[in-house]
Structure 1
Amino acid sequence: MELRLANPADAADLARLGAHSFTVKFGHLYRPEDLHGFLAEAHTEAKAAKEIADPKMRVILAEQDGRLLGYCKLVMACGWPEHARGERAIELKQLYTDPETTGQGIGARLMDWALEEARRFGADEIQLSVYSDNPGAQKFYRRYGFEKAADIHFMVGEQRDEEFLFAKVL
């Protein structure tokens, strides 16, 4: 498996994997119209292309034999300044893996990259949002030293999901 920065040609694959991963993990929680609307806004080729081109973001891909296995997005800005403990906090926006490859160390490689990239950038804290009823993801983040910092929410269409803000001081 290799890691590399995303480029504009990766936008379609990035959008496809994001929509697929979200749907497999969480799709059953939502009314079809809420899920469809969310995916049509959050996981499109156009949005992925915009994020790849954004100098305030870093998008890294995990690939093997030309197949996209996962990705990680860092926003080099604070997502929740009201909860920041650091002076230069950044946000881990998404760390997604292909559902068929979960448990193969892809998430760990992506997280290692994210932490190293944050340090290179000079960040002193990383924040992320995790679904309150996703103990597997919470366990994964805790392994890396993230702790719950606040209760927040996340909207999928008209549905409000209770989320936890996790943060790690670097």
Structure 2
Amino acid sequence: MNLRQAVPEDAPVLAELGALTFTHTFGHMYTPKDLQDFLTTTYTLEQHLNPLTDSRESFWLLEDDNCQALAFGWAGACKLPVPNLESTAGEIKRLYVHPDHQGKNLGSRILKKMLAWLEDEGFGPLYIGVWSENYGAQRLYARYGFEKVCEYEFAVGNHRDREFIFKRA
């Protein structure tokens, strides 16, 4: 397996894997229209290409020996609705593992790389948003020192999810 920093040419793979993983994990929660509206605005080539060209954002791509994408993570400047957000705050924006490869500690491997990158780039404190009922992700983030600090509503089409914001000082 190869974990590397993604480049602009990886944008189509990131968009496709993001849409696949989101749909597999959460798709059952939404109406087809809400899900489709969300996917067509969130998992586009442009939504992935723009941050890939921003030095304050970083994608990490984990591939198998045949260069097939297994998982990816995205980290950068915090955009979460945190009250009194610190100007140097960083965020784990996405941590997605292909449905066929979940439970193999691939997410932890990418998370460690993103945390190190955020620290090296001078971000702090760090935040992450996680669905209120994604208990596995919450346990993972707690193992890395994240604690719940607030909540907000995450829009998927017309649907609103209860989302927790975790912070690591």
- Normalising by the residue count of structure 2, what TM-score does the alignment of the two structures yield? 0.94
User: Any conservation in 1 of the 2:76–2:118 contact (CA below 8 Å)?
Assistant: no
User: Any conservation in 2 of the 1:79–1:90 contact (CA below 8 Å)?
Assistant: no
User: Any conservation in 2 of the 1:74–1:94 contact (CA below 8 Å)?
Assistant: yes
Aligned mates of 1:34, 1:67 — CA distance in 2: 29
Q: Output one character per residue of 1:116-151: Cα deviation in whole Å (capped at 9) or x when no partner.
A: 111101122111110001111111111111110101
Aligned mates of 1:111, 1:5 — CA distance in 2: 13
1:46 offset after TM fit, Å? 2.1
1:78 offset after TM fit, Å? 5.0
1:81 offset after TM fit, Å? 4.3
Aligned mates of 1:100, 1:83 — CA distance in 2: 39
Q: Are 1:88 and 2:88 an aligned pair?
A: yes
* Cross-structure match for 1:71: 72
* Cross-structure match for 2:36: 36
Q: Secondary structure at the match of 1:163?
A: strand
**Long gaps (5+) in structure 1:** none
Q: Output one character per residue of 1:8-58: Cα deviation in whole Å (capped at 9) or x when no partner.
A: 211111111000000000000000000000000001122111121122211
- Normalising by the residue count of structure 1, what TM-score does the alignment of the two structures yield? 0.93
Aligned mates of 2:101, 2:118 — CA distance in 1: 25
Superposition pairs of residues 20-169 of structure 1, within 5 angstroms: 20-65=20-65, 66-82=67-83, 84=85, 88-169=88-169
Aligned mates of 2:84, 2:131 — CA distance in 1: 17
Which range moves more in the overlay, 48-57 or 62-71? Answer: 48-57
Aligned mates of 1:67, 1:14 — CA distance in 2: 11
1:91 offset after TM fit, Å? 1.1
User: Which residue identity is paired with 2:71?
Assistant: G
**Long gaps (5+) in structure 2:** none
1:83 offset after TM fit, Å? 5.0
Would you say how many aligned residue pairs link Structure 1 and Structure 2?
A: 168
Q: Which 4+ residue blocks in structure 1 deviate beyond 4 angstroms?
A: none
User: Any conservation in 1 of the 2:6–2:61 contact (CA below 8 Å)?
Assistant: yes
Q: Secondary structure at the match of 1:82?
A: coil
Q: Output one character per residue of 1:74-124: Cα deviation in whole Å (capped at 9) or x when no partner.
A: 12245334154x562111110111111011111011111011111101122
Percent of aligned pairs with the same amino acid: 36
